[in-house]
């Protein structure tokens, strides 16, 4: 068989991508794998590299991408309070454009003609990876061996055994898991029935609320221009801060999400997430914006936050509209700096205090006590002008039907 050139495969080391290495090789490609550490709970980069090479890859890249993931994808999403359908913090969706970008860079470096992924035809990650890849390099072909092969999971296992491909048993967990530093996605098995309560064994980042400490824990989160930079006065880089908060908030059961999600591929799916740091930071960031941003800016930003989340979820991370929204959001974050005090207790992360040198809250205007600087006499003229359109309307048109007051 004539060689077709190199293909860069997003490689996790699981069953799908392990058999994909051999299958692509049989199709005439030289397979270069790319394994990314984006903060998933269990990742051994050296073991992944060795396994890829044993599975038939000609070269294996293993990359620690936690820092770039946080700085280029997580923090922009946090600034946008990114939550799909106001519920899902986009943890899995955020990692896909990074994977596509890194694969495109490796393809350029290696002179590859294509990139490949292990998504099925039912998943939405196939859309995200392929759309992002096309946006970055329209000339690259995108291959999807698992989707196009039409093999069942059982057939994949038989193929792996017949070709001596090292794969672990796949029946150990009843769930399909995807995780990174921003959160963990759990689906399949008993969770497919929306009537079933997610069992305790589905969770690993968060403690059941009834088993959490009986005393609340407070954390002070310092922000600089929309980015969290310290916990309780201790400065940290992005990955370290998120990891520390995942532990602290997770200990109190914070960040469990159970939703029916409208999937990109056209059907509803029951999705369970646990995102302790993400939920805590979004709550804190959103609260700090109420202290530092103008009312109309907040209102306009809320509309664009929905669009930002939809575009990210749909694989349009590198779209011109997303770039324009990013520019607006970045402008709003110039003065979103300060300290937010959050109480973590029994599954909730609640803001209990905040302060900022850029606060536009004025105590002398808000107080009803001595020192009140508000000009009360100005209220009379304000009310007349504010209510003038309604007053004029009623002077021209009939009055509303009066409410009947019973006799006393």
125 as an active site residue: the answer is: yes
The answer to the question of whether 120 is labelled as a binding residue is yes
- Of 86, 173, 176, 200, the active-site residue reads 176
Query: What distance in Å separates the CA atoms of residue 287 and residue 258, rounded to the nearest whole number?
Result: 23
The answer to the question of whether 284 is labelled as a binding residue is no
The answer to the question of whether 12 is labelled as a binding residue is yes
Query: What distance in Å separates the CA atoms of residue 65 and residue 67, rounded to the nearest whole number?
Result: 6
The answer to the question of whether 387 is labelled as a binding residue is no
- Of 55, 77, 125, 248, the active-site residue reads 125
96 as an active site residue: the answer is: yes
**Paired tokens of 196:** 């079933």
The answer to the question of whether 14 is labelled as a binding residue is yes
The answer to the question of whether 10 is labelled as a binding residue is yes
Residue 190 near residue 205 (C-beta atoms within 8 A): no
- Of 55, 77, 92, 96, the active-site residue reads 96
Residue 113: exposed, middle, or buried by beta-carbon count in 10 A (0-12, 13-18, 19+)?
middle
- Of 16, 55, 95, 179, the active-site residue reads 16
Q: How is the chain split among helix, strand and coil, in percent rounded to 5?
A: 45, 20, 35
Using alpha carbons, select from 40, 66, 36, 65 the residue that is nearest to residue 49: 36
Pairing of strands 59-64, 114-116: unpaired
The answer to the question of whether 135 is labelled as a binding residue is no
The answer to the question of whether 335 is labelled as a binding residue is no
Q: Secondary structure of 150-204 in the HEC alphabet?
A: CCCHHHHHHHHHHCCCCCCCCCCCCCEEEEECCEEEEECHHHHCCCCCCCHHHCC
The answer to the question of whether 327 is labelled as a binding residue is no
The answer to the question of whether 36 is labelled as a binding residue is yes
Using alpha carbons, select from 227, 181, 205 the residue that is nearest to residue 77: 227
The answer to the question of whether 11 is labelled as a binding residue is yes
Residue 143: count of CB within 10 angstroms of its CB: 20
The answer to the question of whether 164 is labelled as a binding residue is no
The answer to the question of whether 18 is labelled as a binding residue is yes
The answer to the question of whether 261 is labelled as a binding residue is yes
Annotated binding-site residues for ATP read 10-18, 36, 118
Catalytic residue ranges: 16, 96, 125, 176
Annotated binding-site residues for L-citrulline read 88, 128, 176, 185, 261, 273
Annotated binding-site residues read 10-18, 36, 88, 118, 120, 125, 128, 176, 185, 261, 273
């Amino acid at each position: 068989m004539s060689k077709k050139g190199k293909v860069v495969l997003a490689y996790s080391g699981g069953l799908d991508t392990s058999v994909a290495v051999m299958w692509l090789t049989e199709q005439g490609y030289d397979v270069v794998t790319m394994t990314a550490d984006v903060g998933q709970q269990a990742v051994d980069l050296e073991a992944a590299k060795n396994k890829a090479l044993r599975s038939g890859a000609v070269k294996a890249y293993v990359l620690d991408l936690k820092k770039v993931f946080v700085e280029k994808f997580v923090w922009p999403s946090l600034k946008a309070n990114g939550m799909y359908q106001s519920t899902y913090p986009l943890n899995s969706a955020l990692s896909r454009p990074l994977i596509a970008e890194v694969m495109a860079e490796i393809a350029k470096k290696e002179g590859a003609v294509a990139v490949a992924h292990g998504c099925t035809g039912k998943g939405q990650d196939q859309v995200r990876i392929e759309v992002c890849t096309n946006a970055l390099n329209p000339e690259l072909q995108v291959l999807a061996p698992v989707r196009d092969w039409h093999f069942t999971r059982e057939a994949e296992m038989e193929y792996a055994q017949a070709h001596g491909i090292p794969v672990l048993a796949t029946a150990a967990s009843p769930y399909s898991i995807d995780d990174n530093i921003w959160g963990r996605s759990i689906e399949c098995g008993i969770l497919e029935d929306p009537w079933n309560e997610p069992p305790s064994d589905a969770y690993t980042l968060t403690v059941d609320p009834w088993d959490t400490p009986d005393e609340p824990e407070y954390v002070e989160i310092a922000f600089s221009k929309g980015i969290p930079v310290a916990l309780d006065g201790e400065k940290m880089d992005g990955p370290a801060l998120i990891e520390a908060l995942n532990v602290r908030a997770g200990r109190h059961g914070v960040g469990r999400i159970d939703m029916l999600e409208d999937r990109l591929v056209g059907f509803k799916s029951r999705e369970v997430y646990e995102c302790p740091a993400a939920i805590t930071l979004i709550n804190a960031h959103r609260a700090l914006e109420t202290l530092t941003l103008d009312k109309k800016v907040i209102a306009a930003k809320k509309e664009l936050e929905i669009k930002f989340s939809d575009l990210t979820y749909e694989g349009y991370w590198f779209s011109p509209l997303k770039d324009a929204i990013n520019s607006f959001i970045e402008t709003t974050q110039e003065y979103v700096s300060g300290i937010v005090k959050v109480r973590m207790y029994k599954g909730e992360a609640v803001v209990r205090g905040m302060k900022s040198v850029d606060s536009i809250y004025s105590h002398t205007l808000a107080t009803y006590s001595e020192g009140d600087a508000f000009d009360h006499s100005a209220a009379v003229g304000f009310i007349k002008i504010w209510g003038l359109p309604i007053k004029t309307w009623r002077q021209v048109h009939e009055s509303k039907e009066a409410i009947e007051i019973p006799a006393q």
